[in-house]
Amino acid sequence: MASATDTRRDLKAPTDWVAYAFVALFTVPFFIFNIAPIFFSAYLSVMKWGIFGPPRFAGLSNYRDALDNDQVRMAFTNILLYGLVIVPGVLVCGLLAALYVHNRWPLSSFARVCFFAPYVVSATVIGLVWVWLLDTQFGLINHYLSYAGIDNIPWLTSTRWSLFGVSITSIWWDMGLAFVLILAALHDIPGELYDAVEVDGASRWQRFWYVTLPMLKPVLSMVVTLQLISTLRIFSQVYVMTSGGPASSSTSVLFEIYTVAIRNQKFGLGAAMSVMLFAVILAVTLLSRRLVREQPR
Amino acid sequence: MTSARRFLKSHNLQPSDVPIWLLGLAIAALWVMPFVWMISTSFKYPGDVMTVDIEWLPRRVTLQNYIDIFTKYNVWRWTLNSVIVVFSSTFLCVLSGALAGYALARLNFPGKRLLFFLYIASLMVPIEVYAIPMLLGIIKVGWANTYQALILPSIGNVFSVLIFRQFFLNFPRDLEDAARIDGAGHGLIFWKIAMPLARAPLIAATVIIFVLNWNNFLWPLLAVFEDDMKTLPVGIAAFTPLYGTATQLEGYALSMAGVTILCVPSVLIFLILQRYFIQGISSGAIRG
């Protein structure tokens, strides 16, 4: 985050009243569509409210309903599982790809485009393409796995595999962001650090372990946090690829919110689940930042 | 032989690194194979798709899937909707972001820090958290299935403000000061002097916001119930043969034609303006 001092007001300089006109075009829609709904969400979560009829105060019953629901509990377990699979996957793939491209060997700009490309296309593209790739009988993945003697895996149609099928897809989709962030950070490491250990005759592995990795720590922790937040909100891939199935095995909290609010029109329950999801995102984010920060240097 | 050695040396490639270099290139190529397979499938006859032998290059090529997708389904209408929504929301988001970012970096007014804090804090609250109440509000004011419901909520993308603010904070203000001494107002200075200099953040913000909006999925899915008002990603998403409704019989050939079309704008923009795209994303702006 940029330091707050850049934005501090200069008390001696005259006030530019026209500034309010400058910020209005952005800030008015921002307040109406991005800030107000957050408070409305908290309010809605303690109400019983459908499309028709007046809202009724419901106390904490929406939260109780959510906690009592097996489906919802499964959804919360699933997003943590998604986090455990996708976050390390993205981190490792992104780091390896960035280290490779950073060498600036011939054709490295081709490699850069390839590694980043999946990030720019929509969830619909990712989802449909991977449903086809992961097709049990005719999919490319199972076809090539069969050469290694592995039987057809029902990636998206069995309760055992569906979460992994969606996770592999997500790693492929999300890796691009981690990749460019790490690549930019590698670029910023001063060359003198490498010159210094070069003199000591450090091996490539030692250079990586004692110079590169410590210097990358801030960006790696940022990647973990960003990826964790986006994984806990996983929705589009689930919606497009499996509709949460089979038997809710790949469902996510957001997918359950969508089901409850749109299909069953229980807006209060949906809002309560949204507030719970936000609390989980906040808790996990703060926890991950603290874990990274408190590690001994 | 010497030329090969010189080639290796000029790219700071040791002979012992050649295997890793080639392996990395192979993995990079493999990484985009799903796109190749997507395009290949989209030109196959539906009967040639589900085969035991893998055909990377179709034996028989057809455009029928592309013709079908535009004639049998609502794809023209969805494309039009996407174009209207994405162009308006990107234009509004970038323009308002430039104005706000400029004001935060250059102007002096009470409430500036609070506003900046709110922008940053809102990054912590993803849209998914308030999508349901927003939907209820949109329904109550009778905006369900309208363009304004799709456009207005995507103006408030803080990324646009941050990228301009960052640029103007690091950019020398001499020219603007000179113009101010000559008596030019802030509006004139912004429009005639600051913006023409802000080419790089303008392109970066436009490209990134455009792609984000083009790919936007959750909100258009929620806010629209009528087939005629769907955007392209939401419309095409129903083509999944596994659980969808549209293509149970036609299968993967048709759905791959659909997603190939959906890819084209964002991939083209990315390939042409790659430098701005990657720099914009990895610049300080996104590190909220």
Domain-wise residue ranges, chain B: 12-67, 68-286
- Contact of B102 with A251, CB cutoff 8 Å: no
Q: What is the pLDDT of residues A198-240, one digit of tens each?
A: 788 878 888 889 889 999 998 998 899 889 989 999 999 999 9
Q: Does B22 touch chain A (CB under 8 A)?
A: no
- Identify whether residues A174 and A143 lie together within a single domain: yes
What's the rounded mean pLDDT across residues A26-30? 94
Instruction: Tell which wins on pLDDT, B66 or B51.
Output: B66
Do A67 and A51 reside in the same domain of the chain?
Answer: no
**Which residue, A82, A80, A236, A255, is CA-closest to A168?**
A82
Which residues in chain A have their CB less than 8 angstroms from residue B288's CB? 1
What is the pTM for the complete model shown?
0.90
Q: A220, A207, A187: which is closest to A94 by C-alpha?
A: A220
Structure tokens at A61: 């019953």
Percent of chain A past pLDDT 90, that is, above it, reads 51
Q: Do A127 and B237 touch (CB under 8 A)?
A: yes
Domain span at residue A46? 18-57
Rounded Cα distance between A205 and A38, Å, is 48
Among B residues 152-181, those touching chain A with beta carbons less than 8 Å apart: 152-153, 155-156, 158, 160-161, 165-166, 169
* In a shared domain, residues A22 and A107: no
Q: What integer best gives the mean pLDDT of chain B? A: 87
Same domain, A67 and A34: no
Closest partner residue to A138 (CB to CB) among B51, B117, B282 is B51
User: Can you tell me the distance from the alpha carbon of B21 to that of B33, in angstroms, rounded to the nearest whole number?
Assistant: 19
DSSP code, position B192: I
Contact across the interface for A254 and B128, Cβ inside 8 Å: yes
User: Which CATH architecture best describes the domain B68-286?
Assistant: Orthogonal Bundle (1.10)
- Mutation site for A-interface testing, chosen from B91, B169, B242 by largest number of A Cβ within 10 Å: B242
Average pLDDT, chain A: 88
Provide φ and ψ at B5, rounded to 5°: -65, -40
Q: Is residue A48 part of a domain?
A: yes
Query: Do A131 and B262 count as a contact with CB atoms less than 8 A apart?
Result: no
Give me the pLDDT at residue B246, please.
45
B249 touches chain A (CB under 8 A): no
Query: Residues A215, A84: one domain?
Result: yes
pLDDT at residue B13 is higher than 70: yes
From start to end of chain A, where are the E strands?
47-48, 56-57
Whether residue B242 has pLDDT greater than 70: no
Regarding whether A146 and A216 lie in a shared domain, the answer is: yes
CATH at residue A136: 1.10.3720.10
Residue A152: how many CB atoms within 10 A of its CB? Answer: 15
For residues A256 and A243, give the distance between their C-alpha atoms in angstroms, rounded to a whole number.
10
Residues A283 and A215 in one domain: yes
Residues B200-209 have a mean pLDDT of: 92
- Minimum distance, in Å, between the CA of residue A87 and any CA atom of chain B: 18
Q: Closest-CA residue in chain A for B94?
A: A26
- Provide the domain count of chain A: 2
Lowest mean pLDDT of A21-25, A142-146, B10-14, name the range. Answer: B10-14
pLDDT-above-70 percentage for chain A: 93
- Which of the residue ranges A86-90, A141-145, A201-205, B137-141 has the most confident prediction, judged by mean pLDDT? A86-90
Task: Residue B113: list chain A partners with CB under 8 A.
Answer: 4, 7-9
Residue B160 buriedness (CB in 10 A; 0-12 / 13-18 / 19+) = buried
- Cβ–Cβ of B137/A37 closer than 8 Å? yes
Residue of B nearest to A175 (CA): B31
Same domain, A111 and A33: no
- Asked if A274 lies within 8 A of B108 by C-beta distance, the reply is no
pLDDT at residue B285 tops 50: no
Cβ distance of A111 and B99 shorter than 8 Å: no
